[in-house]
């Protein structure tokens, strides 16, 4: 289950099944589980609450991108890829512990929520972020599929026709470093699945 918004759309019977499955696996009832916390690479997703387009403006996406990347750099995280969209973002990152990510996102989400609610005249009223989800990167192939999934996300959600047209992502860096021929070859070799279980469900 990728969000509280989706959970509320389920029937009572479907909700009970979801909660029971999470209980059997030792997960919290509704919050995203974080079963792995060791050193490694993680695929991270965070969504604006109820998928509201809180990062709808280019200025806000740029602001958030700078804020997130600078704080990840401060903890020495190894950035694999990222994309910032109007209502969510993905980042692939290598860290010494998932706790490092938790601390960074707690700060980044908290500070942006306060600033944006103030700017939007919603102080004390609007929730901005839902808790982040993580997925451990299993191997090199999974790593490259995650990179491709992240870079293709703006096309998947209909914001652009080509991933190269979306500036709030790491694709431009990859293109500068490796070129489009290399990127095309990586796409053919590591085409990502669109299976939610691979990216969002532990």
Q: Any idea what the CATH number is for the domain that residue 75 is in?
A: 3.30.70.1290
Q: Are 114 and 122 in contact (CB under 8 A)?
A: no
- Clarify whether residues 49 and 111 are in a common domain: yes
For 101-117, the pLDDT digits (tens) are 999 999 999 999 999 99
- Clarify whether residues 56 and 14 are in a common domain: no
- Dihedral of alpha carbons 146, 150, 155, 156, sign: positive
Higher pLDDT, 200 or 166: 166
For residues 169 and 171, give the distance between their C-alpha atoms in angstroms, rounded to a whole number.
Answer: 6
Q: Is the pLDDT of residue 28 over 50?
A: no
- Clarify whether residues 59 and 156 are in a common domain: yes
Rounded percentage of the chain residues whose pLDDT exceeds 90: 69
pLDDT for the residue numbered 33: 45
- Clarify whether residues 119 and 145 are in a common domain: yes
Residue 54 CA: distances (Å) to CA of 47, 82, 126, 130: 10, 18, 11, 12
For 52-95, the pLDDT digits (tens) are 999 999 999 999 999 999 999 999 999 999 999 999 999 999 99
Can you say whether residue 189 is alpha, beta or left, with left for phi > 0 and alpha for psi between -120 and 50 degrees? Answer: alpha
- Clarify whether residues 130 and 161 are in a common domain: yes
For residues 130 and 147, give the distance between their C-alpha atoms in angstroms, rounded to a whole number.
Answer: 23
> pTM for this structure?
0.79
Total domains in the fold of the chain: 2
- Clarify whether residues 137 and 45 are in a common domain: yes
The single residue listed with the structure tokens 């079963």 is: 35
Q: How confident is the model at residue 10 (pLDDT cuts 50, 70, 90)?
A: low
- Clarify whether residues 52 and 132 are in a common domain: yes
- Clarify whether residues 64 and 12 are in a common domain: no
pLDDT for the residue numbered 122: 87
Q: Is the pLDDT of residue 125 over 90?
A: no
- The arithmetic mean of pLDDT across residues 166-176, rounded, is 97
Q: Give 102's contacts (C-beta < 8 A, 6+ positions apart).
A: 34, 132
Q: Are 43 and 2 in contact (CB under 8 A)?
A: no
- Clarify whether residues 50 and 144 are in a common domain: yes
- Clarify whether residues 27 and 41 are in a common domain: no
- Clarify whether residues 96 and 186 are in a common domain: yes
- The arithmetic mean of pLDDT across residues 10-36, rounded, is 53
- Clarify whether residues 65 and 13 are in a common domain: no
Tokens coding 171 = 């694709």
State phi, psi for 90 to the nearest 5 degrees. Answer: -125, 145
Q: Give the residue numbers spanning the domain of 48.
A: 37-199
State phi, psi for 119 to the nearest 5 degrees. Answer: -65, -35
Q: Give 60's contacts (C-beta < 8 A, 6+ positions apart).
A: 54, 116
């Amino acid at each position: 289950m990728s969000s509280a918004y989706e959970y509320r759309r389920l029937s009572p019977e479907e909700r009970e099944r979801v909660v029971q499955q999470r209980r059997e696996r030792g997960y919290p009832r509704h919050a995203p589980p974080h079963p792995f916390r060791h050193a490694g690479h993680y695929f991270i997703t965070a969504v604006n609450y109820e998928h509201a387009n809180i990062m709808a403006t280019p200025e806000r996406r740029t602001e958030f991108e700078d804020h997130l990347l600078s704080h990840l750099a401060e903890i020495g995280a190894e950035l694999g890829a990222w994309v910032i969209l109007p209502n969510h973002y993905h980042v692939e990152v290598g860290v010494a512990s998932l706790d490092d990510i938790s601390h960074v996102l707690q700060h980044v989400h908290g500070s942006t929520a306060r600033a944006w609610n103030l700017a939007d005249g919603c102080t004390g009223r609007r929730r901005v972020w839902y808790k982040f989800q993580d997925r451990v990167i299993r191997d090199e192939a999974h790593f490259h599929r995650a990179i491709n999934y992240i870079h293709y996300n703006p096309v998947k959600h209909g914001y652009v026709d080509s991933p190269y047209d979306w500036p709030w992502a790491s694709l431009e860096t990859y293109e500068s470093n490796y070129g489009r021929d290399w990127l095309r070859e990586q796409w053919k070799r590591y085409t990502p699945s669109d299976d939610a279980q691979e990216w969002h469900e532990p």
